[in-house]
Structure 1
Amino acid sequence: MLFNGLPRESVPKLERPASLREQVYEALLDLISSRSLHPGQHLVESELAGHLGVSRQPVREALQQLNTEGWVDLRPAQGAFVHEPTEDETDQLFVVRTLLETEAARLAAIGSSGQGLDRLDELCANGEAAVAADDVGAVVIANATFHACVMELAGNAVLAELAAHVEQRVRRYFTPNVRQAWVEHRELISAIADRDDARAQQVMHAHTVDARTRFPARPGS
């Protein structure tokens, strides 16, 4: 038998999936990371439950999980509040983002394909159009999709997984409509097309470091 010789108490009992709790968790995480729920905002269980059409229990459980992951602060006798990252937290986040994105740019330049370059060009054009239309929401989506495509071209699944986690945290920072960012994207495409991994690294490093200067210490401030 598979568990012969193991004490019964050492074999964990699997709980039934808490699908409703996970749905509430995902919904709240999306609202926080997209800044629909603002840093510092008081999260009232009853109001959230009413808006989401669920009881307070899955909301309470989701808030506890979000607190564990640093998205929400649970304050005794006060309730739950959307976490406000400190300047140090912000700096640390962007340092990690720079490391991951720079390595992805290098790998993408080494292994890029014509089809991948066409996709980057298309995404860059979408972003430029969104900037011209002053559509901040579309710019945010286009930017995230562009960087995700670079990760895909890098061909490293672990790197992409880590970068996706970091990018989700970056989303909660206000992204201004900056034309220069898309000029830098064009420079990156050129470097990748030339298979110049050193220049791709340089362009991406400068791009991500410059991005940090566009964000205030606290999202939305």
Structure 2
Amino acid sequence: MTTISAGPGAGAEPAGTRHVKRPQPLRESVYEALTEMIIDGTLERGRHLVEVELAELLGVSRQPVREALQRLNNEGWVDLRPGFGAMVHVPAEDEVDQLLAARAALESESARLAARHASKEDLAKLRDLLKVGTAYQEAGDIDGTVRTNGELHSLITQMSGNRFLVDFAAQVDRRVRWYYTPVAPVRGAASWREHSRLVKAISEGDEDKAAQIMREHTEHTRKAYHDLQSADPAPETPDPTPRRRRRTS
């Protein structure tokens, strides 16, 4: 039997080696899936979350679900209560006010800078998003409306040219989408008329007007959110009975 020597340098990686990125850890995929389900209302506020049901729903074991719920709790999406378990967080009034106030400050400055730095390509993208979002709104497509709303706001922030504004805005983006989703039908056409005025001010290079319109726009969203909650307040004590999702063929 012949033994083949590995030769000198065995174990050393050859020059130019590039490691292929490993697949995303399962707990990360579960975390992303649950976060999006909370944002879009599939897992509604105050809902009792049962590990075994979520694991069945996502086709995974309970361990990555447990790890994801812990992370969601740390980030304020889920509340873990001893002796009861996990439930989707119900935002308090001041919590929403604080986030939307921060958003107003970030985005009004972003709009002002966007009016200063906007390129023809940027403006073309904004106008395209405006058309798409208006079409979604008129068709009653809430998911499309919310998604396009987020894309338009994100683009304006990127147009500011300030990477710190971009980073800060990214940190609150998902939370803002969560708060905006239930008010999207209420804001409706008014929101996209405001977007149209905003895009016009940016295209004209009117920094002060762009900032003012953005500030008023975010304030209208904040007020609509509170009006909606006053009309249909979330229960303070959620129903502890687990709810099973209806299977669809």
Query: Residue by residue, what CA displacement relative to the aligned partner does 1:21-56 show, whole Å, maximum 9, x if unpaired?
Result: 111111111111222111100110001111111111
Structure 2 distance, partners of 1:155, 1:69, is: 28
Structure 2 distance, partners of 1:75, 1:62, is: 16
Q: Residue 95 of structure 1 aligns with which residue?
A: 101
Q: Residue 27 of structure 2 aligns with which residue?
A: 21
Task: Kindly indicate whether the alpha-carbon contact (under 8 Å) linking 2:183 and 2:221 is maintained by their aligned counterparts in 1.
Answer: no
Structure 1 distance, partners of 2:49, 2:90, is: 13
Alignment of 1:123-162 (within 5 A): 123-162=129-168
Listed as ranges, the gaps of 5+ residues in structure 1 are 1-16
Shift of 1:137: 1.6
Task: Kindly indicate whether the alpha-carbon contact (under 8 Å) linking 1:97 and 1:166 is maintained by their aligned counterparts in 2.
Answer: yes
Q: Is 2:78 the partner of 1:72?
A: yes
Structure 1 distance, partners of 2:30, 2:219, is: 34
Listed as ranges, the gaps of 5+ residues in structure 2 are 1-22, 234-249
Task: Kindly indicate whether the alpha-carbon contact (under 8 Å) linking 2:79 and 2:89 is maintained by their aligned counterparts in 1.
Answer: yes
Structure 2 distance, partners of 1:135, 1:27, is: 21
Larger CA deviation: 177-186 vs 40-49: 177-186
Shift of 1:77: 0.7
Structure 2 distance, partners of 1:175, 1:89, is: 16
Q: Residue 183 of structure 2 aligns with which residue?
A: 175
SS of residue paired to 1:73: strand
Alignment of 1:1-221 (within 5 A): 19-173=25-179, 174-177=182-185, 178-216=188-226, 218=229, 221=233
Task: Kindly indicate whether the alpha-carbon contact (under 8 Å) linking 1:86 and 1:218 is maintained by their aligned counterparts in 2.
Answer: no
Shift of 1:218: 4.9
| TM score, norm. by length of structure 2 | 0.78
Query: Residue by residue, what CA displacement relative to the aligned partner does 1:63-111 show, whole Å, maximum 9, x if unpaired?
Result: 1111111110001111100000000101111101101110110110110
Shift of 1:170: 1.5
Task: Kindly indicate whether the alpha-carbon contact (under 8 Å) linking 2:40 and 2:143 is maintained by their aligned counterparts in 1.
Answer: no
Q: After TM superposition, what 4+ stretches of structure 1 lie above 6 angstroms from structure 2?
A: none
Structure 2 distance, partners of 1:66, 1:179, is: 33
Task: Kindly indicate whether the alpha-carbon contact (under 8 Å) linking 1:140 and 1:175 is maintained by their aligned counterparts in 2.
Answer: no
SS of residue paired to 1:54: coil
Query: Could you tell me which amino acid in structure 1 is paired with residue 210 of structure 2?
Result: A
Task: Give the aligned CA root-mean-square deviation in angstroms.
Answer: 1.9
Structure with the greater alpha carbon radius of gyration: 2
| TM score, norm. by length of structure 1 | 0.88
Query: Residue by residue, what CA displacement relative to the aligned partner does 1:121-150 show, whole Å, maximum 9, x if unpaired?
Result: 110011111121121221111111111111
Query: Could you tell me which amino acid in structure 2 is paired with residue 175 of structure 1?
Result: V
SS of residue paired to 1:162: helix
Shift of 1:194: 1.3
Structure 2 distance, partners of 1:161, 1:68, is: 20
Query: Could you tell me which amino acid in structure 1 is paired with residue 161 of structure 2?
Result: G
Structure 2 distance, partners of 1:143, 1:96, is: 18
Structure 2 distance, partners of 1:162, 1:57, is: 32
